[in-house]
Structure 1
Amino acid sequence: MKTIARFILYTILGWKLENDFPQEPKKYVVIAAPHTSWLDFPIAILSRMTSGTMVHFIGKSSLFKGPFGFFFKALGGTPVDRSKSTNMVDAVIDVFNTKEEFRLGISPEGTRKKVDKWKTGFYYIAKGAKVPIVMATLDFKNKKIKISKPYYTTDNIEADFEVFYSFFKDVKGKNPELF
């Protein structure tokens, strides 16, 4: 599968992977941005397959129903019912605490629509699970996926978010007006 994914991502689609997903530590949160198109998902899955590193994801529960539900679960997805007010952060921290190896990919925007500010759930998941954050870009302008080294949060959320924002500065999503 790795060879096929590389062929599709690099040769057919023309993307480049700058760096790779860290093998250590075995647990971390991946924030991938910008998330401006449905095309982000297959590019992210191909990059994950190319690296051979399993990065799980969560998605709206409607994706996991019907004929394609098994497909998203097989790709490492977990459904989330966004209509219920459950404490998602604590639930994901519990998942981290029960696994020896777990990497979770999240879009900090929380949607493909334009947002004024990022959601903070990923940050509190990382803090609560005591795991670092790895940043991953999907730069459609340059067809480049760039992955950071693990970043351990501090006690200063504003400073931490400045690190995140600076990593994604000048990255162009498929629909750049939405980022």
Structure 2
Amino acid sequence: MKKYYLYKIFRIVFLPIFKFIYRPKIINKHYIPNEGAAIIAGNHKHALDPILVDVCTKRMVFTLAKKDLHDGKFGFFFKAVGTIPVDLKSSTNKEASNTAIDKLKEGNLINLSPEAKRNYTDELLLPFKYGAVSMAKKTNCIIVPYSITGDYKLFSRNLKIVFGKPMDISDIDIETANEKLFNSIKKLLKENMDKNELKTKKNSKYRGVVNAKKS
């Protein structure tokens, strides 16, 4: 397996600084397995969300990230820390999916957002793509849902990530699995989001992305 030395340096140097600056509250991180494959899936509100997930485990996390980051001037960094490029314009992203599946088969952690992009709307959650549940079924691994609430403001102390109970979707169809994941993350958001902020959000109902491949 590739060593990803830059990722290890990044964890040692930057993650303690991140924790000191943002003071995140981390709840139920024990749901992330200490070994073996798992998909970690949650809402996406900020560019720093993947780093917040990294803070929650000592294991390396391979994050699916938009291809533009790999193609930009800091592309070398994103490649070196193990992010998997996703083309947001593609309905299948076969290459990204295959790479992530290979990582899962090796017993690794994969982090992604079924929303597939940051949510700037008044919807609690955007429509879900099927990547998380599709990969989980193909590799027979669990999905650990999470919600991120609060703000990435210096020393705000209201940034919070909460993990839900791991989901085994091996015995249900992919549509039901995707809706179950959506409702699990939605429940975590409603339970942990600031009540005033929650009032500004629409009570989103499950919608699967129509052009996303369900295989």
- TM-score normalised to the size of structure 2? 0.64
Task: Quote the offset at 1:100 in angstroms.
Answer: 2.4
Question: What SS is found at the alignment partner of 1:23?
Answer: coil
Q: Does 1:64 align with 2:64?
A: no
Q: Does 1:10 align with 2:19?
A: yes
Aligned partners of 1:136 and 1:148 also within 8 Å: yes
Question: Take 1:131 and 1:51, find their aligned partners in 2: how far apart are those partners?
Answer: 18
Equivalence map 1:151-166=2 (5 Å): 151-153=167-169, 154-155=171-172, 157=176, 158-159=179-180, 161-166=182-187
CA pair 47-110 structure 1, distance change in 2 beyond 3 A: closer
- TM-score normalised to the size of structure 1? 0.75
Task: Quote the offset at 1:178 in angstroms.
Answer: 7.3
CA pair 80-11 structure 1, distance change in 2 beyond 3 A: closer
Match of 1:26 among 27, 36, 41: 36
Task: Quote the offset at 1:63 in angstroms.
Answer: 0.7
Q: Does 1:37 align with 2:46?
A: yes
CA pair 127-69 structure 1, distance change in 2 beyond 3 A: same
Partner of 2:148 in structure 1?
A: 138
Give the gaps of 5 or more residues in structure 1. none
Task: Quote the offset at 1:30 in angstroms.
Answer: 0.7
Q: Does 1:95 align with 2:102?
A: yes
Range with greater deviation from structure 2 (111-120 or 123-132):
111-120
Aligned partners of 1:137 and 1:146 also within 8 Å: yes
* Bigger RCO (CA 8 Å, 6+ sep): 1
Give the gaps of 5 or more residues in structure 2. 1-8, 152-157, 203-215
Match of 1:167 among 188, 195, 201: 188
Q: Describe the superposition over 1:74-103 as per-residue Cα deviations: whole angstroms up to 9, x where unpaired.
A: 222011234455453852564246x42211
Partner of 2:6 in structure 1?
A: none
Task: Quote the offset at 1:45 in angstroms.
Answer: 1.4
Task: Quote the offset at 1:137 in angstroms.
Answer: 2.0
CA pair 95-139 structure 1, distance change in 2 beyond 3 A: same
Partner of 2:80 in structure 1?
A: 74
Match of 2:164 among 113, 138, 148: 148
Question: What SS is found at the alignment partner of 2:135?
Answer: helix
Question: Take 1:85 and 1:166, find their aligned partners in 2: how far apart are those partners?
Answer: 27
Q: Between Structure 1 and Structure 2, how many residues are aligned?
A: 173
Query: Radius of gyration: which is bigger?
Result: 2
Equivalence map 1:98-137=2 (5 Å): 99-113=105-119, 114=121, 116-137=126-147
Aligned partners of 2:42 and 2:185 also within 8 Å: no
Q: Describe the superposition over 1:102-125 as per-residue Cα deviations: whole angstroms up to 9, x where unpaired.
A: 111111211113365222221121
Q: What RMSD in Å do the two structures reach over aligned CA positions?
A: 3.2
Question: What SS is found at the alignment partner of 2:74?
Answer: helix
CA pair 132-11 structure 1, distance change in 2 beyond 3 A: same
Question: What SS is found at the alignment partner of 1:117?
Answer: coil
